[in-house]
Amino acid sequence: MTRMSNASGQPWTVGRLLNWTREHFQARGLDHPRLSAELLLAHAMNCRKIELYTRFEQVPPPEQVARFRELVLKAADQAPISYLIGHKEFFSLDFEVTPDVLIPRPETEALVEQALAFCKTLADERIEVLDVGTGSGCIAVAIARYEPRAHVLAADISPAAIEVARRNITKHGLTERIRTTVGDALDLPAHITPADGFHLIVSNPPYIAEADLAGLPKNVRDYEPRLALVSGEGLAMYQRLAQQAHGKLRSGGRIYVEIGQGQARQVISIFTQSGRYRHVGTWPDMAGIERVIGFERT
């Protein structure tokens, strides 16, 4: 990072720090430069972002400015803002994130929306849900938070990710309705699977092809966990889910999966070719890209 110029001799107020950093981030091609500057400065000053607006003329202590400079340096090198500040909002809920988990993304909210809509069609007093590849636990927590009948099993192959998920589950007061387990896809211990199967399985699996990894933005390619991003040619996890989910779902149960751009036709084929599933819908994210597909056990 270019050293903050102070040729005017004016003190580094909150307003000047934000303006300089916004311009610097713009020059480096960062997304949302103003918001990124605000999030980092609020973190360095240990205050809420909204409080910055009443402190424009305040001069932060030198140690806070030094901490802010370190964060700006890392962000300018494309380190994700969410990892630098340690949290990310998802479905109007706040989640801890670390480099052990994928950063929750707005497009994944479409998956939660469809899961909740399906839950509303069920008359059962208890709804059994499985979240495959839970990561930070954001999907599991959002479903349990907004559907009080949901009892969720959150599974991930990464023990480190499960530890982050557990902290988020505790943070949101959902330890009585969300369990966690380390497991590879649907290879789960028999004793934690409901006897009648799950009503609902949700998954945001790794769907980026190995060959496409190099073309990802640096802030994704170099910082987010490869295990949560890449899966063979991009469809391997859908094939595993299609093979294994039928035996975990109760009759009429559904599985909803997030997909990558342009994968809808192939994923539908993977699930329906065996005759075990019926395609019940494809839904776009906020950008209009096909993002979520639902299937019902036949």
Q: pLDDT by residue (tens digit) across 174-229?
A: 999 999 999 988 988 888 889 899 999 999 999 888 888 888 888 888 888 888 88
Tell the residue number behind the tokens 């170099």, with chain if given. Answer: 222
Residue 92 in any domain: the answer is no
What's the pLDDT score for residue 251? 92
Angstrom CA distances, 132 to 204, 241, 260, 280, stand at 7, 9, 17, 20
Q: What's the predicted TM-score (pTM) here?
A: 0.92
Same domain? For 203 and 105 the reply is: yes
Question: Looking at the predicted structure, is the pLDDT value of residue 5 above 80?
Answer: no
Query: By residue range, what is the domain housing residue 293?
Result: 98-297
Same domain? For 54 and 146 the reply is: no
Question: Looking at the predicted structure, is the pLDDT value of residue 2 above 50?
Answer: no
What's the pLDDT score for residue 1? 36
Residue 93 in any domain: the answer is no
Which residues are paired to 187 by β-bridges? 184
Same domain? For 137 and 212 the reply is: yes
Residue 3 in any domain: the answer is no
Same domain? For 118 and 72 the reply is: no
Number of domains in the chain: 2
Same domain? For 213 and 171 the reply is: yes
Rounded average pLDDT over 69-93: 96
Residue 24 in any domain: the answer is yes
Same domain? For 131 and 267 the reply is: yes
Q: Could you tell me which of 167, 99, 176 has the C-alpha nearest to residue 138? A: 167
Same domain? For 19 and 108 the reply is: no
CATH of the domain at 163: 3.40.50.150
